[in-house]
Amino acid sequence: MANNTADHPPGNSVADGNQEGDFGITVMDLRELMELRSGEAVTKIADSYGDVQGVCRRLKTSPIEGLSGNPVDLEKRHAAFGKNFIPPKKPKSFLALVWEALQDVTLIILEIAAVISLGLSFYHPPGGDSELCGETASGVEDEGEAQAGWIEGAAILFSVAIVVLVTAFNDWSKEKQFRGLQNRIEQEQKFTVIRKGQVIQIPVSELVTGDIAQIKYGDLLPADGILIQGNDLKIDESSLTGESDQVRKSLEKDPMLLSGTHVMEGSGRMVVSAVGLNSQTGIIFTLLGAGDSDEEKKIKKAKTQDGIALEIQPLKSDEAVESEEKEPEVEVKRVKKVQVNKKEKSVLQGKLTKLAVQIGKAGLIMSAVTVIILILYFVIDTFGVQGRPWLKECTPIYIQYFVKFFIIGVTVLVVAVPEGLPLAVTISLAYSVKKMMKDNNLVRHLDACETMGNATTICSDKTGTLTMNRMTVVQAYLGDTHYKKVPEPDVIKPFTLEVMVNSIAINSAYTTKILSPEKEGGLPRHVGNKTECSLLGFVLELKRDYQPIRDEIPEESLYKVYTFNSSRKSMSTVLKNTDGSGFRMYSKGASEIVLRKCSHILNTNGEPRIFKPKDRDEMVKNVIEPMACDGLRTICVAYRDFPAEAGEPDWDNEGDILDELTCICVVGIEDPVRHEVPNAILKCQKAGITVRMVTGDNINTARAIATKCGILLPGEDFLCLEGKEFNQLIRNDQGEVEQERLDKVWPKLRVLARSSPTDKHTLVKGIMDSTVLETRQVVAVTGDGTNDGPALKKADVGFAMGIAGTDVAKEASDIILTDDNFTSIVKAVMWGRNVYDSISKFLQFQLTVNVVAVIVAFTGACITQDSPLKAVQMLWVNLIMDTLASLALATEPPTESLLLRKPYGRNKPLISRTMMKNILGHAVYQLTIIFTLLFAGENFFNIDSGRNAPLHSPPSEHYTIVFNVFVMMQLFNEINARKIHGERNVFEAIYRNPIFCSVVMGTFILQIVIVQFGGKPFSCTALSIDQWLWCVFIGVGELLWGQLITAIPTHRLKFLKEAGHGTHKEDVPENEMNEGDDEIDHAEMELRRGQVLWFRGLNRIQTQIKVVNAFRSSLYPGLENPESRNSIHNFMAHPEFVPLSEEEAQIPEREESSSDEADMEIQPIPSSSTGGGEAPDVSHETSC
């Protein structure tokens, strides 16, 4: 018997006295009990406590009434058994973040150079000022200036400090934001418990030991418990045991329910026996948490299941190793991650990594060449041309020159490397995520936000997403009559009415209810399953009440329940008749499925008459199809009696039980299309996104709703298929899915009806793998059921329903729609495209600065022996251009116009030809101006030339003007950068972005302060008002020049190239694409070539330290604080968690040292497809 119940003596839930003494059971007793499984657990409960009721009595709780909810009692339970909460890991302190920011290689080089410069400026050797040392000190106006050599070194250090503080602050605020996001996700997780006899929902963190919790299909269990009563309960325990088979739970065989496991079928009630750190999950978490050091966290993928980190830092040494974590120096078996499928690196991330590596290489070469040319020129000029000897006392002076050259080289590198890129990505994504929350998109994985901008296909559910999910019965077929509206109760025969009302009241989840409206005049509130609510509403319209029937037949007295699942598509409940006349079973489900199992139907007089297949076909034609064509969902309600004389049937033989039914009625349920959906779908179609409906409903209903929504357009060539037909078209004789067959179907497919979750997964995978169209499809999927998990995970972006969605679906998703509304998906597309455009805007601006600054520093240094832009000035330019510009350009709000263009797709380059035209065009203007000022500026402004100034000479007006004009041009070019598609009006909606306006104004004011009062540290001297006006005028010229560039047609400029492509799979050597491996981050192949080899020695040592730490912490779990998350409910989702049975896989095995380091490519070892691991990507049929 699958519906297990136990007796329920009254339980007192308010205890007096002291803590654990109050309860007849201790934490340790419960922990020991929960470690047992199946038969052992049943025996232990029977021996020690009698039965589950005994456990309830000791915990002072009632299986029926639950706890009282008295705060004093709850506090005592917290003290005795702990809270359902794991203290969060302390966030990194600000100082730790500062230390991390200091690890940047370029900054370290600058710091060293500045320290050497500082040291040498204080060292004055005797005779160092002699004529023999060259023109070192000539031209110095007074002794005080000569003593000011330390200022440059100090200013560089100061600038480095500013850069580091800004970076650290950004990291800190980002961490804070994500913790807020994490908390928001956790606060939304509620669980159903019984307190004071009332069914209520409480946040999972408020669960206490002794609570009576209701569990149902789709739940993720937040605490350990013991089953009190269960209906057909099956649990997926793979997250703890690694076994993929579902475990059937019952009082007689296995009543133990464990936290972190998923309810895959059925429903029931459990008494909570362990929470927080004392639950099975908490215990494992404590063991594993201690060993997970911060370094280990870095080795794991930046994309974590709850959106804790996503940042790309392509050109910093340690991070470069991190982004290369695919192949550390030792072979590490791929750890099977629980419930986490690592998706391919996000489109934007891949393109950016590749681009940043290319820019970095170019910058490195330029800076090296600069230093070499400067040193060679100086040496040849001083010792060759002038023929001076190298004097011992002159050595410090020469070294100062070399240090100065070195600093110039480093500043070229600093300006060339776009460190602002990761920052721009982070700011843009974080800003978007924050704003998307207001648009009802709760983003769990940051990169999903940007991937959504590339989406080409959306596979959407029907119910609740496209429709309102407020279902009402509007038609009924009762007693051989088709009523087009709900009939009056007096026209229905009493027996028919009674059996129908009983069937609906009993054969539905008791948690489904219709409550009075919250506001007067409002609609009644539907709680629980919406289809069941519509049937209960039908009962109320027939002026009957379902509650007295439920009170008379409580859930515990139900003999057997066959709960609804995707294969059955029906639900049945068996009652034992009180008069001993056998059993009665009530059924309901999809009409064409249930009618096939009916052999009788109630006629006009309420008596069963024979119902033959031809009657059924007639009914389908005359009743069900007309209802479906009106867009109604049809449900059949039926019953069956099992007489006592035939004996008790074999309840496990479902085929025989769910047969020979008597049909009571067929109802047509309307679920109106949301008003805003047709418009949203039209926007999608204009934006080049195909919307496909994938539903479990019948094909006529699906087609009617799809037409109302605008998915099907009149006169269009499209396909509407049922799941069965779809499978026949795409599978070969062996039943395997063939991509070629699928490619013939999916481009025209718009509606897939009566589909199973496997069909949905097959369709999503098929579209993603297809190469029929020019660009690879980027697929978004919506889902709410537990079985949608595989499709949600497989898709590029998975949307789970926040209201109707099960915990499992939310766990597998990337974005949660908090209002279950399709229009929110369209907003996500808009934000995604905006992120992409924001990064492109920043790139267009940043690269113009980089090109100009690098060329100016390089040529200036080679021709005049000194960079026209000094190190400190470069750092200031770098700071405003990186940090402030990324803030300004990354926070542009999206506009509707973003939806008027086609998706970019995977292979579209980051820098389009239009952008390249803008970059090069503005660089030409800026370089012309700078070089004109550099070599002829003194004549134009009638001032002294600043070229060829000796070491330690005071700042010149000439070079100050060059610096000021450079910054002014960048400032006005920042406004040009707001448009990347060749639009003319660069000021459009600028007032909508206050951050942009304040950054531009703030930068301008700071520039005035630096020039007028910066003095020696910034190598500036105050300028007159005339000179300032000229500088601003030249800057404004950027805007006019921008208009000129826009007027040049891009297609005429054949020489322009695009940059920042995504890597094509065909570009990757075959040996690097092993089938079992996770998909390789192709963009990072660039890093692999030699560049990373020198990181490897360091990486080897780090790995060995980690191994030692892992052993130490697993042996002595008390050594370190357990790493944790705010809620145990959520932690299964984290990639850091590994089932205990697979712990060994985490320990890296040291590899034999290879003689040829450079040839060593470490490939991850493919895991087996059993257990919790990721199965090889071969089978399309995922067991759900």
Distances (CA, A) of 645 to 557, 560, 651, 657: 22, 19, 16, 16
Pull the structure tokens for residue 777: 């499809």
Reduced to 3 states, what is the DSSP secondary structure of residue 235?
Answer: strand
Select from 982, 769, 977 the least CA-distant residue to 886.
977
Q: Write the single-letter amino acid at 41.
A: A
Q: What is the DSSP letter of 210?
A: T
Query: How many Å apart are CA 593 and CA 225, to the nearest integer?
Result: 36
Query: How many Å apart are CA 853 and CA 851, to the nearest integer?
Result: 6
Up-side HSE of residue 798: CA atoms within 13 Å toward CB?
Answer: 29
Pull the structure tokens for residue 292: 């997970």
Residues 6+ apart with CB under 8 A from 17: none
User: Are 306 and 1133 spatial neighbours (Cβ–Cβ below 8 Å)?
Assistant: yes
How far is CA 267 from its chain centroid?
30
User: Are 504 and 546 spatial neighbours (Cβ–Cβ below 8 Å)?
Assistant: yes
How far is CA 805 from its chain centroid?
17
State the alpha helices, DSSP H only, in 667-733.
677-686, 699-709, 723-730
Pull the structure tokens for residue 836: 């992409």
User: Are 1167 and 1174 spatial neighbours (Cβ–Cβ below 8 Å)?
Assistant: yes
Reduced to 3 states, what is the DSSP secondary structure of residue 713?
Answer: coil
Query: How many Å apart are CA 67 and CA 194, to the nearest integer?
Result: 7
User: Are 376 and 383 spatial neighbours (Cβ–Cβ below 8 Å)?
Assistant: no
Query: How many Å apart are CA 765 and CA 795, to the nearest integer?
Result: 7
Catalytic status, residue 51:
no
Q: What is the DSSP letter of 381?
A: I
User: Are 227 and 10 spatial neighbours (Cβ–Cβ below 8 Å)?
Assistant: no
User: Are 919 and 1057 spatial neighbours (Cβ–Cβ below 8 Å)?
Assistant: no
User: Are 695 and 753 spatial neighbours (Cβ–Cβ below 8 Å)?
Assistant: yes
Q: What is the DSSP letter of 737?
A: B
DSSP per-residue codes, 239-291: HHH---SEEEEBTTTB-EE-TT-EEEEEEEEEEEEE-GGGSHHHHHHHHHHHH
User: Are 911 and 359 spatial neighbours (Cβ–Cβ below 8 Å)?
Assistant: no
DSSP per-residue codes, 1035-1048: HHHHHHHHHHHHHS
Select from 199, 204, 247, 251 the least CA-distant residue to 224.
204
Query: How many Å apart are CA 547 and CA 544, to the nearest integer?
Result: 9
- Dihedral of alpha carbons 404, 406, 408, 410, sign: negative
Q: 1171: phi > 0 → left, psi -120 to 50 → alpha, else beta; which?
A: left
At residue 243's C-alpha, the angle toward residues 239 and 245, to 5°, is 110
Select from 745, 751, 668 the least CA-distant residue to 709.
751
User: Are 723 and 753 spatial neighbours (Cβ–Cβ below 8 Å)?
Assistant: yes
DSSP per-residue codes, 856-904: HHHHHHHHHSS-SS-HHHHHHHHHIIIIIHHHHHTTPPP-GGGGGS---
Query: How many Å apart are CA 657 and CA 369, to the nearest integer?
Result: 84
- Active-site choice (171, 254, 461, 784): 461
Q: Write the single-letter amino acid at 743.
A: D
- Catalytic residues, by residue number, are 461
